[in-house]
Amino acid sequence: MLVLFASLAAMVTGTAAYAQFGGTIGSIIKVAGIGYAVKVFGGQINSFLNTVLQEHNVGGLPATKVVPIIRLGSTTAVGAVQVAGRPDVVSRVQAAVEGDLVVGRAQLRYLLPVNSLSLSKLPGRVSGVGVSAIIDFPV
């Protein structure tokens, strides 16, 4: 299964940022594939991350889940994160919203766990959950 995921991940990587800013239809399909890969293989990705983190003495998190990253200002998945926390709170997380904030000369990137995949209305922040891993797809 991990080989299948790796093949799918390799297939959907490449031009996600380009698609986000007006790329070709093929590029848009690749970006949509990231969200699909996370939906289909999220449990297996999560198990893999938990194993790797435990091997490096970072494991022991109460509950974890892999969800897509949705870029603020877009509706496409651009990657994934693993969130961690109490099981009842982790189960409410559906995505992580990513955005940038410029303060003076500093640029801040934030990932905010939210309870909805839709950005058509403002999703609710899920408190009590942290991001334990970021899965970037090269663009």
Q: For 6-47, write each residue's pLDDT tens digit.
A: 333 433 433 333 334 444 455 555 556 777 888 888 999 999
The token duo for 98 is 């990513």
Phi/psi at 134 (5° precision):
-115, 130
- In the sheet with 129-136, reading across from the earlier edge strand, the strands are 106-114, 95-103, 63-71, 77-85, 129-136
Q: For 76-104, write each residue's pLDDT tens digit.
A: 667 899 999 999 999 999 999 888 888 99
* Comparison of pLDDT for 11 and 138, the residue scoring more: 138
Q: Are 96 and 117 in contact (CB under 8 A)?
A: no
